[in-house]
């Protein structure tokens, strides 16, 4: 079963195209905000970038709670409009005055915070928008291609746009893509009517803390998902240490290559992601594939860390990238199918929070780890940790399945 069944649903096609443009706009936004911050602050630009990450972590759970309490369709449209307005302020400020770092920090915090309301609303809406639960996994895989395609085509688009427009207008393009997303959501509004009727639940007298406690209770009772989320945090920690910090260091200092070579590795990683997404669409729904993906991811990173040439590193990047989406899609599909629709947003936000904390901790730990040991050895250690998490997960799932079979007999 491939993507062709998803493309038969015009509402999903419109939604996917709009999110693809939005993802490309997000890439241009990141390029602009990062480059301007680096020119102003140098290495301290990490604080500007980190402001958005901190905002996403801070508002993450709250965004999921209100994604389940509010009308999701209106929430997504409103957040798109607000993000367009705030991002659109940046080129206006540059036009009339001078764009300062504190402008970037404030807008980054606001835009990232608004994203924590949009993303869980989108993910919680997909089961109803699909109408057919059998194509939900393929829909998740297709939606996941948006940011991965932006990662592949983004560098080329960046160069093309810079040839005829100043960097601050990357913010203008991003604002336009948010408006396009809002228009697309208005256009397919009828697909949300039945779902919104179901979600109009009386939350007025309920404290958000009650929703938080409900989400915690649901997670505690779902042992498989709870372990999967813990595994996600651990794998993300190792992923950021290897890919975000280790790979660029390895490319420059071990392979003695340029930034262009690092870009090639990123492109190879994106290609591996896309190949995996097409494969995931044909797999049966099983959390075992998530842990198998962890093993493949770790093995690919091990190949990169052991590489003596760029070609071998590129091969390792493709292998690693093939394992990454397997975990993301299987975990997301589990959240969407194993929980009531009125709680999907909250559970998704917990997934985003745990994954984001893992990424932040991995970057922090790596900044010290690569100073006390060789780059390849640290990369290999983190790669083996990923493989271990996957192997332990496979063992646990098989044990649980065996117990269920024995109890049934």
List, in order, residues 6 or more apart from 115 with CB less than 8 Å away.
56, 63, 79, 83
Helices and strands: H and E segment counts in the chain: 15, 0
Please state whether 166 falls in left (phi above 0), alpha (psi between -120 and 50) or beta. Answer: beta
- Look at residue 320 and give its three-state secondary structure: helix
Answer whether 239's CB lies under 8 Å from 366's CB. Answer: no
**What letter would DSSP give residue 404?**
H
Q: What is the pTM of this model?
A: 0.80
Binned at pLDDT 50, 70 and 90, residue 193 comes out as low
Q: What is the mean pLDDT of the chain?
A: 85
Long-range contacts of 300-304 (CB under 8 A, 24+ apart): 300/272, 301/242, 301/243, 301/379, 301/382, 301/383, 301/386, 302/380, 302/383, 302/384, 302/387, 304/242, 304/247, 304/250, 304/265, 304/379
What would you report as the CA-atom Rg of the chain, rounded to the nearest whole angstrom?
21
Instruction: Tell me what pLDDT residue 205 has.
Output: 47
Q: How far apart are CA 303 and CA 382, in angstroms?
A: 12
pLDDT tens, position by position, 292-341? 999 999 999 999 999 999 999 999 999 999 998 887 888 888 899 899 88
Where b means 16+ CB within 10 Å and e means fewer, 265-274 reads bbbbbbbbbb
Query: When comparing pLDDT for 145 and 99, which is higher?
Result: 145
How many other C-beta atoms lie within 10 A of the C-beta of residue 303?
19
Rounded average pLDDT over 111-140: 88
pLDDT tens, position by position, 345-354? 999 999 989 9
Position 118 pLDDT exceeds 90: yes
* % residues pLDDT > 70 (the chain): 90
Q: Which of 90, 81, 73 is nearest to 32 (CA)?
A: 90
Answer whether 408's CB lies under 8 Å from 253's CB. Answer: no
pLDDT tens, position by position, 240-249? 899 988 888 8
Instruction: Tell me what pLDDT residue 32 has.
Output: 83
Q: How far apart are CA 275 and CA 263, in angstroms?
A: 19
């Amino acid at each position: 079963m491939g993507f062709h069944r998803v493309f038969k649903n015009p509402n999903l096609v419109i939604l996917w195209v709009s999110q693809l443009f939005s993802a490309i706009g997000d890439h241009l936004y990141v390029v602009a905000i990062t480059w301007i911050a680096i020119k102003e602050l140098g290495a301290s630009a990490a604080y500007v970038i980190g402001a958005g990450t901190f905002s996403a972590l801070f508002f993450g759970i709250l965004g999921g709670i209100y994604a389940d309490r509010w009308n999701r369709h209106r929430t997504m449209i409103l957040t798109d409009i607000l993000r367009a307005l705030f991002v659109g302020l940046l080129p206006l400020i540059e036009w009339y005055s001078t764009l300062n770092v504190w402008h970037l920090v404030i807008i980054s915090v606001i835009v990232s915070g608004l994203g924590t309301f949009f993303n869980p609303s989108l993910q919680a809406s997909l089961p109803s928008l699909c109408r057919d639960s059998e194509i939900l996994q393929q829909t998740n895989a297709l939606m996941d291609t948006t940011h991965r395609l932006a990662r592949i085509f983004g560098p080329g688009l960046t160069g093309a746009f810079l040839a005829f427009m100043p960097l601050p207008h990357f913010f203008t393009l991003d604002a336009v893509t948010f408006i396009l997303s809002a228009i697309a959501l208005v256009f397919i509004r009828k697909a949300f009517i039945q779902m919104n009727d179901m979600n109009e639940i009386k939350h007025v007298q309920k404290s958000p803390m009650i929703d938080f406690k409900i989400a915690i209770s649901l997670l505690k009772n779902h042992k498989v998902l709870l372990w999967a989320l813990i595994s996600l945090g651990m794998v993300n920690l190792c992923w950021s240490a290897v890919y975000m910090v280790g790979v660029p260091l390895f490319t420059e200092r071990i392979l003695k290559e340029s930034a262009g070579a690092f870009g090639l590795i990123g492109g190879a990683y994106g290609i591996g992601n896309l190949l995996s997404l097409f494969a995931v669409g044909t797999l049966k729904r099983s959390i075992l594939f998530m842990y198998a993906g962890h093993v493949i991811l770790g093995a690919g990173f091990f190949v990169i860390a052991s590489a003596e040439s760029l070609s071998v590193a590129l091969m390792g990047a493709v292998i690693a990238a093939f394992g990454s989406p397997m975990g993301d899609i299987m975990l997301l599909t589990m959240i969407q199918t194993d929980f009531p629709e009125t709680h999907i947003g909250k559970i998704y936000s917990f997934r985003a929070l745990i994954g984001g904390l893992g990424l932040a901790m991995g970057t922090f730990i790596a900044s010290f780890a690569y100073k006390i040991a060789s780059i390849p050895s640290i990369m290999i250690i983190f790669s083996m940790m990923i493989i271990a998490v996957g192997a332990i997960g496979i063992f646990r799932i098989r044990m649980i399945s065996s117990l269920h079979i024995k109890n049934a007999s």
